[in-house]
Amino acid sequence: MRICLMMPLVSLLAGPALAADTHPFSVRDMLAMDRISDPRVSPDGQSVAFTVRATDLEANKGRNGIWIVPTAGGAARRLTSHEADGTQARWATDGKRLFFVSTRTGSAQVFHISKDGGEPEAVTKLPLDLDALEVAPGGRHLLFAMAVFPGKTPGETAAMLEVQSKRKASGRLYDHLFVRHWDTWENGTRNHLFSYEVATAKLVDLMPGMDADSPSKPFGGSEEYAVSPDGRTVVFATKDVGREEAWSTNFDLYAVPIDGSAAPRKLTTNPATDTQPRFSPDGRTLAYLAMSRPGFEADRFRIVLREWTSGTERSIDLRGDTSATGDRSPDDIRWSLDGRELYATADHLGQHPLFAVDAATGAASILVGDGHVTGPQPMPGGNVLYGRDSFLGPTELYVVHRVARIAPVRITRLNDEKVAAARFGKPEPFTFTGSASATVHGWITRPVDFDPARRYPVAFLIHGGPQGSFGNNFHYRWNPQAYAGAGYAAVSVDFAGSTGYGQAFTDRIRNDWGGAPYEDLMKGLDYALATYSFLDGDRVCALGASYGGYMINWIAGKADRFKCLVSHDGNLDEHSAYYMTEELWFPEWEHGGPAYDTPEGYTKHSPINLVRSWKTPMLVVHGEKDYRVVFPQGLATFTALQRKGIPSKLLVFPDENHWVLKPQNSILWHETVLGWLDQWVGKR
């Protein structure tokens, strides 16, 4: 695989290291960054609209606004000014105005505004919140989702929810799973796609009576459906499996007329996941992403091309190199405007590049190689707009000139002053030989104001997933710069099971949670300590969340090399956790089946079996609204530590889920975690 273009590092490390007008990076710098997302190029290719989320510490939340900037570069300007001025900017087909979603009237509704600014006008006044907005080709219809009771209208659903809210009894009665999902108790509603005729306000449920979600809950968006170029047909992804929902990953594609004149027609029969439908510009081909193994949420996606008329399909494997195991799993695909290429992003060797894939041959090349690329959008002339972030700064927008092959051009600079005000640590990738003689990748971030004559304490960061990666991106929860700014060297290892190194490497964690991954982590830490003489091996603290939290609990019983540990939302007992979580497909795949059929798969690598050997001080963090790794697991971990007399603390967030999202909670989290590290491995 040839890397055609590489992004230059932002000049964050230039100039005097101790400039009087700068300071070491901290959680407050992280929260202060404007978060750019969801860019959309105008029909004429001259402008891009996008969402910016700014943190309001006083209100303890983020505030979103719609911004616009010329694609040739220039000053970005905010298009909306109301404090509730929302998200999901979508161009009208004439390019003169934009539709967007806002809660400025109390509920989430569609508004439109001139591209030149002015006061937005309401388009919809529906009884329920809506989401996942798109404008159909031709501009006659809007598409969006609302959560309704199957077979009921939005008005009927709103009335039923009102009755429920006024009941004196508080009990909930269920007869199937899910009972609760992610951080919410289920109430029987389903996300249904609706078409909305702008001229007449005619509203049509495109999934009438279906006991299924599209977009999927809780994080699905408009990427899960597409409208044909002639504006007549909608293709959407959904999981329509009834009582098997909690242990199935079988998403299929359905097609339905945009006016609802016929029932949805099932297009795919693959028993695994099919998603992200994308029509080619001429409407002759439908591209989508497909997994092949049922019940596995982290299987590799392939790109499938389906001839729309005949239904004939062929698949494309995205490869990051030419080796037999060099397969990559795309997580976003877009057609070029001429229909000859697909643009895709995927994890790849600690980066998240932008690929160009020839639709005819499947041959791929990397257009942008380093950093974390998101939201590619095709432009006239074969150019591509995208967002990019890295260890050295948050997302900004760029244009890569696909044909001219010149360096990408940056078109937004929303965070330049904030980035320049903070001093960052220098990141560096490394590789070593891990378990099964595999090449394993990792990163080290040097402390801010690095002095090679000093020895520094180490924050050893372990990622979750476990099918994930601590790659080159600007993370808003586990950012290595937060540790570098506090005087620590941050080290991470993409152990067996991580993504971006081929599916065979990802698959190696199955039925071996405490085996090869643990070996890779220990070998990776050994390699870093031996290679970088400024690391103090006597002052190392290991930290992790989700699977990383599980691994911290496992490490507590396997190794005594760490001076302290931080376990965030991690399981203590894998066997009991099976019966407490919601998405059962995950543990059933990871541990070989349901816990009642394969109990040995859950117990052989369960940290609860090693509690007798625990001795390392540990900080335990958990969110009470985490219904994936439930709070009793964190409480049990703390109980074991206290009963054994091991120095320990428990930080509980009653209002957080699997992540810590509220700004003030994020500050408390970082202050508590860094305070714990300071206590055990050295003050800053």
Report the distance separating Cα 571 and Cα 546, nearest Å: 8
Other Cβ atoms within 10 Å of 19 Cβ, number:
11
Question: Do residues 477 and 448 make contact, with C-beta atoms less than 8 angstroms apart?
Answer: no
Residue 600 DSSP code: H
Report the distance separating Cα 256 and Cα 267, nearest Å: 10
| Helices and strands in the chain, H and E counts | 12, 42
Report the distance separating Cα 641 and Cα 257, nearest Å: 59
Question: φ, ψ for residue 633 (rounded to 5)?
Answer: -65, -40
Task: Find how far residue 392's CA is from the centre of its chain.
Answer: 19
Answer positive or negative: Cα dihedral of 236, 241, 247, 249.
negative
HSE, CB side, 13 Å, CA atoms: give it for residue 664: 8
Q: Which residues contact 267 (CB under 8 A, 6 or more apart)?
A: 235, 252, 253, 254, 255, 306, 311
Question: Do residues 338 and 382 make contact, with C-beta atoms less than 8 angstroms apart?
Answer: yes
Question: Do residues 586 and 299 make contact, with C-beta atoms less than 8 angstroms apart?
Answer: no
- Kindly state the tokens that stand for 177: 């799973």
Instruction: Give catalytic residue positions.
Output: 546, 626, 658
User: Which residues, listed in sequence order, are joined to residue 378 by a DSSP beta bridge?
Assistant: 384
DSSP string, 330-365: -SEEEE-TTSSEEEEE--BTTBB-EEEEETTT--EE
DSSP string, 183-217: TEE--S-EEEEEEEETTTTEEEESSTT----SSPT
User: Which residues, listed in sequence order, are joined to residue 357 by a DSSP beta bridge?
Assistant: 342, 364
